Structure 1
């Protein structure tokens, strides 16, 4: 079997048709606690710039030992995720700065463009993953519009060998130019988008975790192991506060 030719193929029709829809929520369960005192970062550091990679291949912003661990399963082609990135993420960073809350971003891969962006945001430094993701979500309509407008070209590109496919997706949708303008050279991008093993790991982690945790939609939020039945910041923030979080 030619692995480079056979892995990572998707159908474009259904996922991209759903890309502009709100994408759902999770289960139930909340935590109750008195206010938790702020936790100082180690000397010379601050929690807002501290990034670690979890065992589940998520990117944790903040204190990795925070008493409140918030996880988001997100898709780069989910309109509700884009909305949360713009409306909730700035406030999340205020909670992260206290050391009481950490925020971990994990992938739930929905379609080829999602996988392409997930690969590109990981292409540079770990510290830049969430920032690049937020910038991509901030340009959600432009990116998805390009994908929708070039569906026929994307279907053709979908037949390319696996080590060429995502690079062509990026070119067709303007993602190559988008990320080049944000510090990822074309050579970096080409290498990352041809790394079939790493790309397949992203997709496999997504599908395995979705099955194990029953993640059915994006964004799905998990707080200290409990799935939350919310997908907007206005509903999530009160849960964090009842759990003991306070922003500075």
Structure 2
């Protein structure tokens, strides 16, 4: 079964999401461009560590680490992108180690590509900023099961789900592919999960984020990375991104 684009909530969302489907394989104040000089470590406040320090940006993104870090790494990723899953599995432990040095912050921005991705993103954000990163890593781990259950639905059931009213469709989809049960096992209550999945405003915000990413950075695939606000060319794997961070002074 081929996943179809997310039905639009607004004209803006209708424009944004099909553009995103091409993909797998500037906002606020930005730190100065890296000079390549070694970046000094910065200790976290007593009793804390930077990898567990999560702040929410005005645009609703979640940033891990030292808010004043000299290096800011941003990933645009999708929960239904196999390359993003591979990056999460290989890079997450090392990224947390670097973030804990205080030299770098890390931010995962949802680049929603399809309805399954939208449902997963709504659930990953459902518990708030403090558990967003652990949940994201675990949802990447569920990707193969997600695809298997999506295929098992069949086109007729899938189309019927997508024809449901906007406030219901992602709840129905998440139920059919086991996402709600998976979230429940990770501390998200069923009622809370359904409330998040029915939040059409949150879904519209995620869709608008895709259009903004395309307008600001001409994103052509996921994962894509920014270092201090500059798109890194031809970087889809951790070894390449890590090399670029070393060049920046990490």
Give TM-score scaled by structure 1 length: 0.86
Look up the SS of the partner of 2:168 in the other structure: helix
Query: Deviation digits for residues 142-187 of structure 1, max 9, x if unmatched?
Result: 1122112224222110000011000001011110111111111110
Note if contact 1:6-1:161 (Cα within 8 Å) is conserved in structure 2.
no
Q: Give 2:170's match in structure 1, choosing from 162, 166, 169.
A: 166
* Unmatched runs of 5 consecutive residues or more in structure 2: 1-6, 26-32
Query: Deviation digits for residues 7-49 of structure 1, max 9, x if unmatched?
Result: 2898xxx99xx89xx823xxxxx94422211101122221010
**Cross-structure match for 2:9:** 7
**Cross-structure match for 1:104:** 107
**Paired residues for 1:192-231 under 5 Å:** 192-229=196-233, 230-231=235-236
Query: Deviation digits for residues 38-73 of structure 1, max 9, x if unmatched?
Result: 101122221010001123322111112110000000
Distance 2:70 2:8 in 1: 43
Q: Give 2:246's match in structure 1, choosing from 228, 231, 241.
A: 241
**Cross-structure match for 2:192:** 188
Query: Deviation digits for residues 57-103 of structure 1, max 9, x if unmatched?
Result: 22111112110000000011000000000001111111000010100
TM-fit CA distance, 1:136: 0.7
Kindly tell me the number of residue pairs found equivalent between the two proteins.
229
Note if contact 1:23-1:218 (Cα within 8 Å) is conserved in structure 2.
yes
**Structure 1 stretches of 4+ moved >6 Å:** none
* Unmatched runs of 5 consecutive residues or more in structure 1: 25-29
> Greater shift after overlay, 53-62 or 30-39?
30-39
Distance 2:70 2:141 in 1: 30
TM-fit CA distance, 1:116: 0.4
**Cross-structure match for 1:27:** none
CA RMSD in angstroms, aligned pairs only: 2.2
**Paired residues for 1:14-163 under 5 Å:** 23-24=24-25, 31-152=34-155, 153-163=157-167
Note if contact 2:34-2:71 (Cα within 8 Å) is conserved in structure 1.
no
Note if contact 1:51-1:127 (Cα within 8 Å) is conserved in structure 2.
yes
**Cross-structure match for 2:183:** 179
> Greater shift after overlay, 134-143 or 67-76?
134-143
Distance 2:44 2:77 in 1: 27
Give TM-score scaled by structure 2 length: 0.85
Distance 2:212 2:103 in 1: 29
